[in-house]
Chain A
Amino acid sequence: MFSGRGGPWARGLSIVLVLLSVALLAIDRARPEQSPFKGIKRIVADGTGPALTVLSAPFRALNQFSDGVASNINAAARVRELEQDNHNLLQWRDLALALHEKLVRYEELLGAPQAPTPIVVTARVISDSGGPFVRARLVNVGTNDGVAQGQAVLTHQGLIGRVMSAGKQVSRVLLLTDLNSRVPVFVVETGAHAILAGDNGTNPRLIYVARDERLAPGMRIVTSGEDGVLPRGLAVGQVLKNSGEDWQIALFARPEKVDFVSILEIPPILFVEGITDNETDDGAVQQSLPENTTSEAVIVYPQTGGQE
């Protein structure tokens, strides 16, 4: 097989390098979450980030030009469509504001803690998945901008993935469609919990759905936040069809067509020091807070620990 390349030394070297590749593959895949190459991948992504931004500029210009041409062709129809959309959305906005106000009142009455408002970081996608076997993207923000592993990555339409590893200036986002992606979700209509699993295809599948749960096409899927990493309630997609064994999900946001994304940063958690437990006469434990803190501050989020 190696007879075509050079002399015996060259052939020997080729065989050694093939064996080395096999060894690297075995080491990398033995424990994908703790792969020793994670650091190298992060450094390479960080190092090539500026070059990728420059290289993607002409392709971006080409995309903008072709988009411009395409949108000019049916501009009138598009304007009508958007006007209709805008009209509908104004009604939804009024409803959302009214419900939000009501929710705040209820939360005040119940004394429910307010969840911290996430900080949104906008990032530009600088790399495509790069091949048929990986569904990941590099984005031009990193730990310098507050990005950390496990954070949710979305577009205005919905969730597209999570931060898989964060370098200083460049981070890698694992898309929901990747073979390794697992995200806990629930079905809004039935409350059924499940895991959204990617399979490198366009439509990820729902796995671990309780047997007696009845699903139907069109039901909404949102994040359940059960992994303690992603916030609860992020829009993901809707049930598409049953493909024999599993239900397929049509994602609201198509990850392949994304140019800009938003990364949700949950603010750092401040552990309140000096909380003391007081046991009352009837045995119940009450927590007393230092005088300068409010009950709203006592929200403890687990540490992020998403898979790679």
Chain B
Amino acid sequence: MRHSGALQRVSMIVWAVLPFLIALLSVMIYVVPLTIGGMTIPMPLLPFMVIYYWSMTRPEFMPAPAIFLTGLFQDVLTGGPVGLWAMVYLLSTAIISTQTEVLAGRGRSALWAGFALAMVIASGLAWFIARIALGGAPSVGRLGTEMLITLLIYPLLGQLFALVQRATIQARRLTVNSTMANF
């Protein structure tokens, strides 16, 4: 009985850190080269999609340290200025989270509109911080293209995240129920 209790605890932890693990994986997919028909296409900013989705729907699964570490991992893996994306993700999530009551629970289109707003905030912040950190004005073209692609892809991946979310909640409920039954 004790053994199965430990197993359940492990399972609870796994489900709880799953969004963070998805965020880390999304950073790795984000840096993979994407070329279609000889044309290089900027990868959508996947980590921000993951961070935004869970921050708006279940912020307890995407606490500030997880956001910070995801941004830091992206900075280190891309070889860019360390702290840039960590700061952008933390600040833009904090700003958009003030509107959680307006955006969350009102369907997908409200979440998407919120994401568009979050993207504008994040790209503005990223451009501004990069300008100071790199000592030169970064090109707006690449940033703009990347943000637009991210925005267009979001509804698709939002669906996927919703599936994971549902599975997580179900698994947690099952685990909690069986724990209660053990008592």
Which residues of A are interface residues toward B (Cβ below 8 A)?
Answer: 1-6, 10, 13-14, 17-18, 20-25, 27-29, 35, 37, 40-41, 44-45, 48, 51-52, 55-56, 59, 62-63, 66-67, 69-70, 125-134, 136-138, 164, 172, 179-180, 199-201, 256-257, 259
Identify which of B30, B83, B94 contacts A25 (C-beta below 8 A).
Answer: B83
Q: Enumerate B25-63 residues with CB–CB distance to A below 8 Å.
A: 28-38, 40, 42-43, 55, 59, 63
Residue on B with the closest CB to A172?
B79
Mark out the residues of chain B between 138 and 180 whose CB falls within 8 Å of any chain A CB in the assembled complex: 138-139, 142-143, 146
B116 interfacial by beta-carbon distance below 8 Å? no
B59 vs chain A, min Cβ distance (A): 6
Are A28 and B77 closer than 8 Å at their CB atoms? no
B130 CB-CB contact with A under 8 Å: yes
Which residues from B are CB-within-8-Å of A20? 68, 83
A256 engages B40 (CB within 8 Å): yes
Cβ of B65 within 8 Å of any chain A Cβ, yes or no, is yes
Do A128 and B76 touch across chains, with their CB atoms under 8 A apart?
Answer: no
Complex: chain B residue closest to A3, CB-CB: B98
Q: Is the CB of A5 within 8 A of B97?
A: yes
B11 interface hit (Cβ, 8 Å): no
Q: Give every chain A residue within 8 A of B82 (Cβ-Cβ).
A: 24-25, 27-28, 35, 37, 41
A131-B80 in contact given A25-B129, A52-B32 (Cβ < 8 Å)? yes
Count chain B CB atoms within 10 A of each CB in A41, A52, A131, A172 and give the residue with the most: A131
Which listed residue, A14, A63, A69, touches B35 by the CB 8 Å rule?
Answer: A63
A residues in contact with B95, CB < 8 Å: 1
Which of chain B's residues has its CB closest to A129's CB?
B78
Query: Do the beta carbons of A24 and B94 come within 8 Å of each other?
Result: no
Q: What residues of chain A lie closer than 8 Å to B34, measured between beta carbons?
A: 59, 63, 128
Asked if B83 contacts A133 (CB within 8 A), the reply is: no
Chain A interface: which of B2-10, B14-22, B85-93, B105-113?
B85-93
Asked if residues A69 and B37 are in contact (CB atoms below 8 Å), the reply is yes
Contact call B136/A131, Cβ cutoff below 8 A:
no
Which chain B residues lie closer than 8 Å to A67 at the CB level? Answer: 37-38
A-B CB contact pairs (8 Å), 12 listed? A5-B97, A18-B94, A21-B71, A25-B83, A40-B76, A56-B33, A59-B32, A128-B31, A128-B33, A137-B33, A138-B31, A259-B33
Partner of B98, one of A4, A14, A51: A4
Known: A52-B32, A69-B37, A125-B33. A28 touches B81 (CB 8 A): yes
A4-B97, A127-B33, A133-B81 given. 7 additional CB < 8 A pairs?
A: A4-B99, A21-B71, A37-B76, A55-B29, A128-B33, A131-B74, A133-B134
Contact of B32 (CB < 8 Å), options: A18, A25, A55: A55
Q: When the two chains form their complex, are residues A21 and B83 in contact, meaning their CB atoms are under 8 A apart?
A: yes
**Which residues from chain B sit less than 8 Å from chain A, CB to CB?**
28-38, 40, 42-43, 55, 59, 63-65, 67-68, 71-74, 76-87, 90-91, 93-100, 126, 129-130, 133-134, 136, 138-139, 142-143, 146
Is the pair B37, A70 in contact by a Cβ cutoff of 8 Å?
yes
- Chain B nearest CB from A58 CB (Å) reads 9
Nearest CB of chain A from residue B103's CB, rounded to whole Å: 11
Which residues of B are found within 8 Å of A13, using beta-carbon distances? 63-65
| Complex CA distance for A21 and B99, rounded to whole angstroms | 24
- B residues less than 8 Å from A172 (CB atoms): 79
Chain A residues within an 8 Å CB radius of B134: 29, 133, 179-180
Residues of B within 8 A of A62 (CB): 36
Judging by beta carbons under 8 Å apart, are A127 and B36 in contact?
no
B93 to chain A, nearest CB (A): 8
Contact between chains at B138 and A132 (CB < 8 Å): yes
Task: Name the A residues within 8 Å of B84 (CB-CB).
Answer: 21, 25, 133
A179 B79 Cβ-Cβ under 8 A:
no
A134 contacts across to B, CB distance below 8 A: 78-80
B46 to chain A, nearest CB (A): 11
Q: A52 and B31: CB pair below 8 A?
A: yes
A1–B138 CB distance below 8 A = no
Q: Which residues of B contact A45 (CB under 8 A)?
A: 77, 79
The 9 closest A-B pairs by CB, nearest first: A4-B97, A130-B78, A24-B83, A25-B83, A130-B31, A21-B87, A132-B143, A4-B98, A128-B33
